[in-house]
Amino acid sequence: MPLWQAYIRTYDRLGNDPYVGRRLVGLLHQAGAVPIRNTWIFFGSCSGSPDFPDVAENLEKILLGARTLILSTAHIEQESFDDGIAALKTWSSRPDAAFWFAMSWAEGRRPAEGG
């Protein structure tokens, strides 16, 4: 979806890495920590779940909240943005709709002094 791609592009336009999770263990190591665990934290729902309307509405609100930034930095036109929101609303009423994503998580510890 062009709107989602534009949303993700706002991250790098602001100097952030939207895919930093892929590098967390390496970053821990570079910082002098001993990586001890990495995992994914799951978020999502599907149309048959009672919480799905809230998940879909949250996604819409995230995109609407970033509207000004998306339009000013991500090379998407207002009409495409509005079409994307309309498509999201249509999609969220489908009986086979599902949305999920995973957030990267990594933990490390500082090595013991002198050891």
Residue 103 domain flag = yes
Residue 55 domain flag = yes
User: What are the angstrom distances between the C-alpha of 33 and each of 10, 17, 23, 91, 103?
Assistant: 30, 21, 14, 43, 21
The gap from C-alpha 98 to its chain's centroid, in whole angstroms, comes to 15
Residue 78 domain flag = yes
Instruction: Tell me the residue range of the domain where 22 lies.
Output: 2-109
The string of DSSP codes covering 79-113 is HHHHHHHHHHHHHHTSTT-EEEEEEEEEEEEPPPT
Number of domains in the chain: 1
What confidence tier does 114 reach under pLDDT thresholds 50, 70, 90?
low
pTM of the model: 0.76
User: pLDDT digit string (tens) for 25-35?
Assistant: 999 999 999 99
Residue 115 domain flag = no
Residue 13 domain flag = yes
Residue 114 domain flag = no
Structure tokens at 57: 């509405």
User: pLDDT digit string (tens) for 41-88?
Assistant: 998 999 999 999 999 999 999 999 999 999 998 779 999 999 999 999
Residue 60 domain flag = yes
Residue 82 domain flag = yes
82: helix, coil or strand?
helix
User: pLDDT digit string (tens) for 34-44?
Assistant: 999 999 999 89
